[in-house]
Amino acid sequence: MTSSPIRVRRRHSRSVRRNLTLAALAAVTLSTSAPGAMAAREHDDRLPLQLQRDADALIAVGATGVQARVVTSDGRNVTVTSGVADLTRRQPVPRNGYFRIASVTKTFVATVTLQLAGENRLSLDDTVERWLPGVVTGNDNDGRAITVRQLLQHTSGVHDDYPDYTSAEDFRKHRNDAYTPEQIVARAMGHRRDFEPDTGWNYSNTGYVLLGMVIERVTGNPWHEEVRDRIVRPLGLDHTFRPGTSPTLPRPHAETYQRFGDGEPLVDVTEQVGPGTNGEAGLVSTTADLDRFFGALLGGRLLPPEQLAEMTDTVQVSDRFERFMPGARAGLGLFSRRLSCGGEYWGHEGGDAGWISTVGVTADGRRSVAVSLSGVQAATEQDVMRVAEAENQLVDDALCAPAKAGPQRR
């Protein structure tokens, strides 16, 4: 299992296809009395209908449930659901349901790391060896050549090797297995690096496991406690937490499903622990909490200007990832994407075992969209592409609504 956004099953094996996205619309100045602003408000009044259409489109391309929430620049919440929360009772998807956010956890970990940099407790140019001596070594891996910044930006070359479920029987047998960060890193060290540090780009979950270990070495506290104390509690994210080795989710929540082979039945995989709990993933949240977090982050409430500028300094992603994320660039724990109405937006995506979560926010943090998909079925890359396109359309429509309504600048 990995904490990549969508998992393509081929011959009962895992392959990482894309890790997405999300990003910031270039800020525009609005006047409440200007015709453009009035048109924008009128368009936002039509937002629920468009959001519902986009959520329904995601069901049509292979999800069992969708929850989408937009926070507009004037603070209104627009939430829609589509599909069903479970395939047995076919209850509606809860509008405030909990879900595993998987790789969206990385943005929380990156924020803590950058806060520590702003406090001069570490430097982004520190080597991994500086904080984790002897951990990254062997098979051409060298912690002396890898920096904290490279871990954050996926330019370290550190390889991923995650345990994965090969069948429904294997899932039932191992779904509650837990892995320490040391075990995950040791698996990666059994492989040669993907490339020499800073000479390429490849999404690395193991890189964020290492960041979680760095945070603990610097602060003396586990990464999730620092996330709790520095982000969750100050922002009042009352529905965001790390379940640890508990396989269950609080209610309400949608169930999620996975098909382990062509022609095989869907399996309910909602209750599981999985290996992704060490900073590369591991948090549970809601769309409301994610909107609040990303809005605060891009709005400058969590990082000083210097560190936020570091976070949004981007590099090109790999060609393979750009197939699913056209125009994407990688910052430090964030991705930027272009919008059809001009500018860009910021955010992150995560997913595993049928879950996909996506967050996008404008550059000023005032408008955001958070989406949770459950029971996503993506057996081929063509399936992945269809889901990606529908998901990208929802985010673009949600963040471009004012710009699509009429002239905005004055």
| 175 DSSP assignment | T
More confident of the two residues 407 and 255? 255
Q: How far apart are CA 164 and CA 14, in angstroms?
A: 7
For position 384, what pLDDT does the model report?
A: 87
Q: Which of 178, 214, 211 minimizes the C-alpha distance to 333?
A: 211
pLDDT (0 to 100) of residue 378: 81
pLDDT value of position 325: 84
Superfamily of domain 7-405: DD-peptidase/beta-lactamase superfamily (3.40.710.10)
For helices 381-405 and 47-60, the axis angle rounded to 10 degrees is 170
Answer yes or no: is pLDDT of 407 > 80.
Answer: no
Distance CA 60, CA 390 (A): 9
pLDDT tens digits, residue range 287-337?
999 999 999 999 999 999 999 999 999 999 999 888 888 889 999 999 999
The closest of 367, 297, 364 to 40, measured between CA atoms, is 367
Segment 218-238 mean pLDDT? 98
| pLDDT > 90: percent of the chain | 77
Collapse the DSSP code of 374 into the 3-class scheme (helix H, G, I; strand E, B; otherwise coil) and give the result: strand
Reported confidence tier of residue 402, pLDDT bands at 50, 70, 90? low
**Mean pLDDT value of segment 383-396:** 93
Q: What is the pLDDT, as a whole number, of residue 17?
A: 31
Residues 122-133: what's their mean pLDDT? 98
The model's pLDDT over 140-183, given as tens digits with 9 standing for 90+, comes to: 999 999 999 999 999 999 999 988 888 999 999 999 999 999 99
**pLDDT bracket for residue 262 (50, 70, 90):** confident
Residue predicted with more confidence, 409 or 160: 160
Is residue 109 helix, strand or coil? helix
Asked if pLDDT for residue 31 goes beyond 80, the answer is: no
| Beta pairing partners, 250 | none
DSSP assigned state of 84: B
Q: Which of 276, 334, 293, 352 is nearest to 99 (CA)?
A: 352
Do 112 and 227 meet the contact criterion of CB atoms below 8 Å apart? yes
Query: What is the reported pLDDT for 408?
Result: 39
Mean pLDDT within 12-27? 32
Lowest mean pLDDT among 5-14, 106-115, 196-205, 387-396: 5-14
409/77: higher pLDDT: 77
| pLDDT of 320 | 87
- Residue 93 pLDDT > 80, yes or no? yes
Res. 392: pLDDT tops 60: yes
The mean pLDDT value for 330-354 works out to 93
Q: State mean pLDDT over 243-266.
A: 93
Q: SS3 for 331-386, per residue?
A: CCCCEEEECCCCCEEEEEEEEECCEEEEEEECCCCCCEEEEEEECCCCCCHHHHHH
Q: Quick check: 270 pLDDT over 50?
A: yes
**What is the predicted pLDDT for the residue at 80?**
98
What was the pLDDT predicted at 45? 78
In this prediction, residue 15 has a pLDDT band, given cuts at 50, 70 and 90, of: very low
